[in-house]
Structure 1
Amino acid sequence: MTASDGVDYTPRELDRGATFYVAGHRGLVGSAIVRKLESSGFENVVGKGSSELDLKNRDAVFAYMAEIKPRYIVLAAAKVGGILANSTYPVDFLSDNMRIQVNVLDAALAHNVERVAFLGSSCIYPKYAEQPISEDSLLTGHLEPTNDAYAIAKIAGILHTQAVRRQYGLPWISAMPTNLYGPNDNFSPKGSHVLPALIRRYDEAAASGAATVTNWGTGTPRREFLHADDMADAVLHLMEHYDGPEQVNVGTGTDVTIREIAETIGNVVGFHGETEWDITKPDGTPQKLLDVSKLAEAGWTSKISLQEGLERTVAWYRDHVGALRE
């Protein structure tokens, strides 16, 4: 199935009765997308966990795609982690993500999937990109060294979807979210991103009555945070309203310092001690604020405030603290 088949691929409301495969449906982003799709009336949302389907196994991916015959796919599956994990295991972050993406996208093409949304990350942009970061900043400078392997894999995924558009004319798109958080996040001390790591650290400190909490770096870098439910809403909106080769930034358009987000989290969890900063540890990129004007032009803006999102995420974390992955 290609554009030459005479099929009209103009973006429109997706068929709620069609099979919709969410790769990575149990993760932070994937689970939010499943919730959004089901609440929006989709009747056949499917997915398999990594214990049932290893997306790095090409034959298994092709066999699964042949079995379910999806009309739509969101590729949210990825090996993800924070500064420590990315710095320690760059080979894993490059190899695993490349194989996942190539297998799913190749299988989607082989089985004539009409609409695919590939999800990446704002880390694809140069470390010192002009702020706020526009989509055309891609490949214009050096990446942040602490997560360059992951970033290269995600850049390859963008180019893969663009290549499908050029060669086959299919309306596949890419969306690049800012820092995400919410239910089903990874709160592991060694594998989490900054916001869930801070939630766990401050909540444990509050529960134990600790006098201090120590965070990495200076606290001065600025970060933009988007709730996963907002991200899911944006992805469905883009699949129904956007058709273009360029990746679309997905964020709020506002940012805060790490010091500010730490203070807010401390207040939400009820921590009354002092915060110390280990300046011998890396800060990472100084600022990562996305230019979301393209997203706004497509008709979407974020709805969940940072305060509301943090309160909801802390509540979810406390409800599931005994069953979290380590």
Structure 2
Amino acid sequence: MHTFEELSRLFIERFNTDHFPKEPASLYEPNRYFLKLGGKRVRPVLCLMGNELFGDISQDAMHAATAIELFHNFTLIHDDIMDKAPLRRGNETVHQKFGESTALLAGDVMLVAAYEYLNRISPNHSSLIISLFNKTAREVCEGQQLDMDFEKRDNVGYDEYLNMINLKTSVLLAASLKMGTILGGALERNQNLIYEFGRKLGLAFQVQDDYLDAFGDPEKFGKQVGGDIKANKKTFLLIHAFETATPAQKEELHALLNNNSEDKVSQVLNIFKACGVDEWARALKEKYMEQAFDHLEDIAVLTKRKEPLKELALYLTQRQH
């Protein structure tokens, strides 16, 4: 069994090849530029980890992992356009550097390249893999649309937000693991258990992300805390605050969200703490982690084979940045 770091090195070594034709360079160079910005490559490595849970890593798993990473980067290029984001990983975004129209096309051909790798998977598995890939791709788009819809609304319920995060973030982690297990020959029950492990891990990851943005240590977090508060983003924390606040606190929260005063972040954090949002968020993350580990425990393989996944899950959800 390999650790996440070992599999990450193996994947990056294979992935760092040219996925695109030479011409027209004005279309394909933006994608080469974007892929060189790197990233954690968590999703494709999860595919390899799911594969290794049931046997040796196969060439088909490497093709699926490559398709997953290309798809993920396609979503990032388009998300950056929608968010009007100037930077990604400290560098200019594709639309900022090459223009919005080129960025749209570059994202499109990134997705086409993903399907080319899926088509390399052996016929006895390709139909199931492509079906799961398509379902997941559609769900990610649905999640992104819901996220944009929520920006225009004053109130979003907990269940609505949970559904959006599930679609936007969790299903791709879950599907990456499941694709690996399908290619490793796992039975359907084990495939479904690994999917649920990935889904709950994704929810725990998002709770941690929301928590760090509000309560993280700026030194460790690597950026100024309170970014979500300044942007009035709907998060697990804000939604829970509205659901538990007194009428006076709700009124104050609404007023704070409608202005951009210098002490907005600190005042919102005071309300969060008064509502016990920090403790609640930590408990919610632990709840999702426990559920994730229960699903992992139920998978019918030797316990020691699950250790790398346990370690990765803890790393992703206990990080401080």
Question: Would the TM-score normalized by the shorter structure come out above 0.5?
Answer: no
Question: TM-score when scaled to structure 1?
Answer: 0.31
Question: TM-score when scaled to structure 2?
Answer: 0.31
- Greater helix proportion: 2
Give 1 or 2 for the bigger CA radius of gyration. 2
